Amino acid sequence: MKQLHKPGEAKSETPSVKKEPLTEGLAKEKKPRGFYAKMSDDTLVQSAQKSIEERKIRNRKGLEEADRGMHSALCERHLLGRLEFKENRRDWASMSDDALVQSAQKFIEERKIRNRKGLENADPGMYRALWVRHLLDRVFAPIEQAQEQARKAEIDRQLREGIDLYLGREAA
C-alpha cells in the first residue's frame, strides 16, 4: 500500500474541502416544541388542510413525511378523518362484489395493467380485497382470455409461416 507521508512526518497542511449537504437550500423551518399542542382542534385541522393544499399532499403517508409533528398531533387527537386528501381512502369492505369488480376493471383499464402482479403493485389494497373475496378470477378472466387468444393466434401464424416455408410456398 502506498503511503502518502513518511512515518514521523507531519501530515499535509492543506485544508480538507467540506462538501455542502444536498439539502442546503431545502431546509425546513423548525417549529418550537409543543407548537401544535397549543392549537385548537379546528385551527389544527385548518392549518393541516392549508398545508395539504399548498404542498399538494395526496394521502396520509405524504402528510406524515411532509410534517411529522403535525401528523402526530392529528393522530393523537383523532382528527385525520376530518382532512380531505386528493386520494380518498377507499373502503373496499363496504362495496358489493359486483361494485368492487367493476371498480377494479375500470382501474385496470385506466392504468393499462396487464396482469395480477401489475394490479398488486399499483394498488395493494384493492388486490388484497379481491384476493380475500376470491374475485381475482372474475376481474382478470376477460383480460386473460384476450391474452390467450392473442397468443394462440400468434402461434397459428408462426405455424402457417413454418409450413409455407417448409413446402416452399410464398407466405401470404
The 10s digit of each residue's pLDDT in 6-25 is 666 555 555 555 555 555 55
pLDDT above 90 (res 155)? yes
Q: If residue 60 lies in a helix (H) or strand (E), which one and from where to where?
A: helix 60-66
Report residue 84's pLDDT band, with 50, 70 and 90 as the boundaries: confident
pLDDT attached to residue 37: 83
pLDDT at 9: 59
Residues 125 and 103: their CA atoms lie apart, in Å, by 13
- 20-24, 118-122, 139-143: range with lowest mean pLDDT: 20-24
**How many angstroms separate the CA atoms of 74 and 92, rounded?**
24
At CA 144, angle to CA 143 and CA 146, rounded to 5? 65
Report the sign of the C-alpha dihedral through residues 73, 75, 77, 79, in that order.
Answer: positive
pTM of structure: 0.43
Q: What is the mean pLDDT of the chain?
A: 81
Rg value, the chain, Cα: 30
